[in-house]
A and B are shown apart, each in its own frame.
Chain A
């Protein structure tokens, strides 16, 4: 763990509440993108992100500084998401069960990939989104879920299937672009 972060954690555990905002600002984007990879509703994403930081603040004194802080806070976020999914899932709901299964399967993979992520990749992403063709940018910025895809399809006189296809192509373009941005 870097020294700067260690010092900040120490300050917070010694009573300097304002210092915690440094941690929030540093990890906010990462936690938010982690939660957003599983949940769709932006309000839920922001609520769970906030709850993650609240819990992390309360448990900061228990954090082992020899471990990776990012992994630790993602663990808290994961815990929050599990509870949220349990609370909101309706019984015998096929889609609910499907989502829970998928999340269970891919969670270790997500954690592994995010561990090796650099901060620069998220910043590079903003640049790359701006470079996308107009229609892809529209789709990517709309934050797709089923309902939005329907609305967007109507707006641009297309079909939801075509929109998901564009999202998939956009993801590929963005991945390549981010790789290039980081390497230069």
Chain B
């Protein structure tokens, strides 16, 4: 039984198909002792996972227990009910199938006589190219549904604070309510409308070309595709006829101003429209449309907003440049790569504190960075792309920061930065392997430090140390991982600021995303790290035929990398992010 049990566990954990699967399932079904033994193994592995995994954070549960639930949709009730329905439907389908089978049998037995084959006309059914085509479905059903639900994108913001913090720059908006508490934002509808939302505005997107404005002021620019766009309020219906217009909803009335072109307006309970042309304003109050006292724009236009965004961007760029000078003069800065638009091999000032002989790019190409007009970025595309550099640093404390723009999750792990010792690099000779170098190291000597993102969007800092010397090749790993995952596919293509601080004095590792702490994980390791050789965007494997090469390459861009020999405080991390964000 032991052999079967071990094999079953191996299949269960590896999830690899095996010729013995059916036999083992049958044994599981019929052999009580085997079933009990396997269940014990499964329960034990479940318990181990539960007690050794980090503390989970139940963010959704926290929200439910701290907020009202009257309006929450009861998903679970729905699931229970739909499963009940499904059971009933299954029975109906089974019954229908039985009846159909009986009818088919009856038809076969009692079918009417048919003409001879020579009299029957021959019909060639043309091949339907659409039906016969195999469509590659790259989206899972949830993604397919989600992509068709999108009504608009938040394409620009200026100090925006939303009532629901799920909304951020470049987020999609479906048929749902949005409320902007502070700042301004621009929504671009997929149907060809751009809308500026001002602070204090609350609206609901009710259709691809329709919104309901509860309060606040909006400014709309409607192009050819968006003609007929409608803005409704409690008092009025405003229909675009190819324009730029503004609507203000205050407690008792609705104001409409046309910047360009024409709209038609009617009170909510009337069927009669009033046409309104350029530079005119009306007020809708108590079911009547009347000319406004002052006919002027209700708020700034989208063009004004664009100019404001551009000014803000330039201010931010200036802050970033000032920060770069400070970092250059900060003695704790070990490495600071600020990618310019020129190729990395040609310019020294990209590489603060290093020169070209200490930094070796492999395969990476130049691309556009966070500041399109002003800086570049490193593009990591191919399997071997990386930047290699020597730091070196040995100590107990450090900070790692990188601005990244991830294309996709292409394999299990993606290296942001990896730090190895010199002999890892000299192992790229046939026959070399870790075991050969093991006798040179004592227990707890540093082996490697790796900062990676896995395909689930979890960021991990792993510190490897040599194990007991009598067991050559054994490594001890200290893993500091974000929980839950912090990066999702909706972050692909966006510039993200990732950071991690390693504070030996406080015994904690903190992961950061965009200046915000995401996870604090305690350190139980007393040994220093030894950052000698660094690789950005990849990990060099020893050339060893016995070990399967696991890909680690990063796929995307990086335009700034910072390493310090001390842990930045939360305030410093926040400040760094605020001074270096482009949007």
The answer to whether A114 has its CB under 8 Å from any CB of chain B is: yes
Q: A20-B65, A135-B474, A164-B9 are in contact. Are A154 and B550 (CB under 8 A)?
A: yes
8 Å CB contact of B65 from A47, A57, A79, A129:
A57
| Contact present for A24 and B58 (CB under 8 Å) | yes
| Contact present for A134 and B474 (CB under 8 Å) | yes
The answer to whether B93 has its CB under 8 Å from any CB of chain A is: no
Q: A135-B471, A145-B13 are in contact. Are A33 and B50 (CB under 8 A)?
A: yes
User: With a CB–CB cut-off of 8 A, which chain A residues contact B60?
Assistant: 50, 54
| Contact present for A105 and B25 (CB under 8 Å) | yes
Main secondary structure of the interface of B (DSSP, over half): helix
The answer to whether B6 has its CB under 8 Å from any CB of chain A is: yes
8 Å CB contact of B43 from A43, A102, A114:
A114
Contact with A along B423-446 (1 / 0, CB 8 A): 000000000011100000000000
Contact with A along B271-303 (1 / 0, CB 8 A): 000000000000000000000000000000000
CB proximity to B under 8 Å, residues A109-159: 109-110, 113-114, 121-122, 125-126, 129, 134-135, 138, 140-141, 143-147, 149-151, 153-157
| Contact present for B48 and A110 (CB under 8 Å) | no
Task: Please choose the segment from B32-40, B188-196, B232-240 that sits at the chain A interface, where 4 or more of its residues have CB less than 8 A away.
Answer: B32-40
| Contact present for B46 and A37 (CB under 8 Å) | yes
In the docked arrangement, what's the CA distance between A55 and B412, Å?
32
The answer to whether B325 has its CB under 8 Å from any CB of chain A is: no
Contact with A along B1-30 (1 / 0, CB 8 A): 000011001111111110001000100110
Main secondary structure of the interface of A (DSSP, over half): helix
8 Å CB contact of A35 from B14, B17, B46:
B46
- Interface size on A, as a range, is 35 or more
User: With a CB–CB cut-off of 8 A, which chain A residues contact B16?
Assistant: 95, 146
Closest to B455 in A: A147
In the docked arrangement, what's the CA distance between A109 and B43, Å?
10
The answer to whether B473 has its CB under 8 Å from any CB of chain A is: yes
| Contact present for A151 and B550 (CB under 8 Å) | yes
8 Å CB contact of B412 from A45, A59, A79, A147:
A147
| Contact present for A160 and B14 (CB under 8 Å) | yes
The answer to whether B41 has its CB under 8 Å from any CB of chain A is: yes
The answer to whether A41 has its CB under 8 Å from any CB of chain B is: yes
| Contact present for B28 and A106 (CB under 8 Å) | yes
| Contact present for B44 and A102 (CB under 8 Å) | no
User: With a CB–CB cut-off of 8 A, which chain A residues contact B17?
Assistant: 94-95, 98
| Contact present for B46 and A134 (CB under 8 Å) | no
- Which of B48, B456, B458 is most buried by chain A, counting CB atoms within 10 A of its CB? B48
| Contact present for A149 and B14 (CB under 8 Å) | yes
| Contact present for A165 and B76 (CB under 8 Å) | no
| Contact present for B25 and A146 (CB under 8 Å) | no
| Contact present for B65 and A46 (CB under 8 Å) | no
| Contact present for B49 and A171 (CB under 8 Å) | no
Closest to A17 in B: B65
User: With a CB–CB cut-off of 8 A, which chain B residues contact A143?
Assistant: 48-49, 52-53
The answer to whether A161 has its CB under 8 Å from any CB of chain B is: yes
What's the nearest-Cβ distance from chain A to residue B84, in Å? 12
User: With a CB–CB cut-off of 8 A, which chain A residues contact B53?
Assistant: 32, 36, 42, 45-46, 143
What's the nearest-Cβ distance from chain B to residue A151, in Å? 6
In the docked arrangement, what's the CA distance between A144 and B12, Å?
10
8 Å CB contact of B42 from A29, A49, A110:
A110
| Contact present for B46 and A36 (CB under 8 Å) | yes
| Contact present for A102 and B64 (CB under 8 Å) | no
In the docked arrangement, what's the CA distance between A110 and B36, Å?
9
The answer to whether B108 has its CB under 8 Å from any CB of chain A is: no
Contact with A along B188-229 (1 / 0, CB 8 A): 000000000000000000000000000000000000000000
| Contact present for A24 and B52 (CB under 8 Å) | no
Q: A57-B65, A58-B74, A106-B38 are in contact. Are A138 and B14 (CB under 8 A)?
A: no
Q: A37-B43, A106-B39 are in contact. Are A156 and B473 (CB under 8 A)?
A: yes
In the docked arrangement, what's the CA distance between A101 and B38, Å?
14
Could you pull out 26 A-B pairs where Cβ atoms are within 8 angstroms?
Answer: A21-B65, A24-B58, A33-B43, A36-B46, A37-B47, A40-B13, A42-B483, A43-B484, A49-B56, A50-B60, A53-B58, A53-B61, A57-B64, A98-B21, A99-B12, A105-B28, A106-B38, A109-B36, A121-B47, A126-B51, A140-B48, A143-B49, A149-B13, A153-B547, A155-B464, A157-B473
Q: Which 3 A-B pairs have the closest CB atoms?
A: A37-B46, A33-B50, A146-B14
Known: A50-B58, A135-B467. 10 other contacts (CB 8 A): A32-B50, A53-B61, A102-B25, A106-B38, A141-B48, A154-B548, A157-B547, A167-B9, A171-B44, A174-B48
